[in-house]
Structure 1
Amino acid sequence: MSHLYYDLTQDRSAADELHWVCDSSPHTVGPWSPVLQHGGPPNALAVAAAERIVSQVTHRDDLTALRLGSEFVGPVPVAELEVRAAIVRAARSAVLAEVTVLAAGRRCLTSRVWFVRRADTSEQAPALGPGTELPDDLPGLDHSFGYGDSLDWRRVSGGLSEPGPGTAWTRARTGLFDGYEWSGLARAVLVADSGNGLSSELDWSAWSFVNVDLDVHLARPVVGEWVLLDAATQLGAHGSALARSTLSDRHGVVGAGLQTLVLAPARS
């Protein structure tokens, strides 16, 4: 089995537009169906596409991807995907890229990624701490599926089988695609889409609580490989819910994630 989430088979990009064709590996499989992807890998792929088009068009090396806003227009299948990206706005202080992921010509995911120019504001921000030491004896994920098995999990509290808030350290064991080095935002969104699962308030066998979107905001880039996901779900009385996640690295809090959930009885 490949050690990558995606195999980038074609690059048809033009000067001002990115166009990739990718094969999806079993590492992308989510917990709901063996033929549907977890939201983490395609969102990380969207970040990578945004990074590529911004570099390709602006030729700048002083920009950092810090925010992703994604809408799941439809389920993302474990299949061949098309990825298209273009620049929406390019200013001196910030650049906005838009990414669309399609399967068989059908749009699955639409994402917008903001890049902020780097500047020295270290005197106004607290210094990073020395770094948290991760215990080696924490349990792993309490379920097995493609995406879940592609990450190292060290659960501090909660789990997919335990209703209520959950906290876990995570680290990607799988590359995104050949030649790509994980950026801080890509690491964050890969994990942030697990907030609703780690903090599930409902029985997986009786209820579906799929998210229709993912918003991730970072105050600063993630440092290192490990991301701490601290998530809680707030149930609503009208068929919806909200999953909130605090995202940290070993030096402290870096940002937050939000997911709007649709609640429905599980199909028998």
Structure 2
Amino acid sequence: MIDCYYRRIGADGDWKIFDSTDGTRSNWDPEIQHGSPPLALMTQAIEDLAAGSGLRVGRLTLDILGAIPVSRVKVRAWIERPGKRIALMVAEMSAARADGADRAVARVTAWLLATSDTADAATDRYPALTEGDAVPVPHSWIGAKGYLETVMWRRQSETSETANVVWISSQIPLVDSEPTSALQRLAMVVDSSNGAGAALDPEEFMFMNTDTVVHLHRLPEGNDFALRARGSIGSDGIGVTTAELFDRRGFIGTCAQTLLVMRR
């Protein structure tokens, strides 16, 4: 039974050490990790670093630097650009090569900004989404083991040529039984925008994202998130997925991903 994405092992200086569980396994290749759990784990490191600063995350960018193995990983975070009103924080994940040497496999950069009261000027670009009945076959990876076993995926019937709508919720904690913040819960599913907005048949094409960029005009709430997403594919093997992100209260931000497209 998969009961979390990572197990905390200890620390080595600035590095926190975790064992990856089967819940991190990608639907593309079970030997590598889906992008959402690493994004969430590095988001946790950034939130821990920012605690008490009066700053909150406005943008998260995940860059996947290489295949992330389902194995022991290390995570550290640091302040790249300090500031009282604007700061840039970075988290990095490393894993061992075959020869035992560590290599960086993923990195998250986050812009954090000082908060203030702008409630009287707050606006949402889009109205809130309401979840309806899910279609019988929610995605094209039915039966895939690993990450897709850990999320509840409800594709909506009101999809169109311009976007697919999927409500998605993670069913397990990020690390052991530790509390998981709402931002971490969003990170645990947002990399699925590429699958939610798939414009190609995964039986015929692979379309793996190299990055995930999330902009948030407010912090998410709860554990249920809607991804209104669609991929666009170029003629030279490169694509882009864009998505609008919602929680139960309404619109919270956007996501964009670069795709490497290959015919199987």
Compute the TM-score of the two structures, normalised by the length of structure 1: 0.86
Q: What residue identity is the alignment partner of 2:216?
A: L
Matches within 5 A, 1:220-231: 220-231=218-229
SS in 2 for 1:189: helix
Residue 217 (structure 1) aligned to one of 215, 218, 227:
215
How many angstroms apart in 2 are the aligned matches of 1:108 and 1:34? 16
SS in 2 for 1:70: strand
How many angstroms apart in 2 are the aligned matches of 1:202 and 1:135? 24
Residue 101 (structure 1) aligned to one of 93, 108, 130:
93
How many angstroms apart in 1 are the aligned matches of 2:163 and 2:129? 21
Structure 1 residue 192: Cα displacement: 1.9
Question: Percent identity among equivalent residues?
Answer: 31
SS in 1 for 2:245: strand
Pair 39,158 (structure 1): closer, same or farther in 2 beyond 3 Å:
farther
How many angstroms apart in 2 are the aligned matches of 1:158 and 1:134? 10
Q: What residue identity is the alignment partner of 1:40?
A: S
How many angstroms apart in 2 are the aligned matches of 1:164 and 1:33? 28
Partner of 2:99: none
Compute the TM-score of the two structures, normalised by the length of structure 2: 0.87
Work out whether residues 66 and 185 of structure 1, in 8 Å CA contact, stay in contact via their aligned partners in 2.
Answer: no
Structure 1 residue 64: Cα displacement: 1.9
Partner of 1:175: 173
How many angstroms apart in 2 are the aligned matches of 1:45 and 1:147? 14
SS in 2 for 1:152: strand
Work out whether residues 163 and 199 of structure 1, in 8 Å CA contact, stay in contact via their aligned partners in 2.
Answer: no
Structure 1 residue 131: Cα displacement: 7.3
Structure 1 residue 247: Cα displacement: 0.3
How many angstroms apart in 1 are the aligned matches of 2:61 and 2:202? 26
Structure 1 residue 91: Cα displacement: 1.1
How many angstroms apart in 2 are the aligned matches of 1:70 and 1:137? 29
1:153-205 Cα deviation digits (max 9, x unpaired): 2211489xx99842111111110003543333322332221111122222212
Structure 1 residue 90: Cα displacement: 2.1
Pair 158,243 (structure 1): closer, same or farther in 2 beyond 3 Å:
farther
Give the count of matched residue pairs.
255
Q: What residue identity is the alignment partner of 2:86?
A: A
Q: What residue identity is the alignment partner of 1:210?
A: M
Moved more, 4-13 or 22-31: 4-13
Work out whether residues 69 and 113 of structure 1, in 8 Å CA contact, stay in contact via their aligned partners in 2.
Answer: yes
Work out whether residues 164 and 233 of structure 1, in 8 Å CA contact, stay in contact via their aligned partners in 2.
Answer: no
Pair 132,164 (structure 1): closer, same or farther in 2 beyond 3 Å:
closer
Residue 237 (structure 1) aligned to one of 235, 239, 244:
235
Matches within 5 A, 1:67-106: 67-104=59-96, 105-106=102-103
Q: What residue identity is the alignment partner of 1:10?
A: G
How many angstroms apart in 2 are the aligned matches of 1:140 and 1:123? 43
Matches within 5 A, 1:156-175: 156-157=156-157, 165-175=163-173
Pair 80,74 (structure 1): closer, same or farther in 2 beyond 3 Å:
same
Work out whether residues 58 and 113 of structure 2, in 8 Å CA contact, stay in contact via their aligned partners in 1.
Answer: yes
Partner of 1:42: 38
Residue 24 (structure 1) aligned to one of 20, 24, 27:
20
How many angstroms apart in 2 are the aligned matches of 1:196 and 1:2? 23
Partner of 2:108: 111
Work out whether residues 4 and 177 of structure 2, in 8 Å CA contact, stay in contact via their aligned partners in 1.
Answer: no
SS in 2 for 1:205: coil
Pair 181,118 (structure 1): closer, same or farther in 2 beyond 3 Å:
farther
Partner of 1:52: 48
1:192-222 Cα deviation digits (max 9, x unpaired): 2111112222221221111111101100011
Pair 74,130 (structure 1): closer, same or farther in 2 beyond 3 Å:
closer
Question: RMSD of aligned C-alpha atoms?
Answer: 2.5
Moved more, 179-188 or 81-90: 179-188
How many angstroms apart in 1 are the aligned matches of 2:94 and 2:161? 34
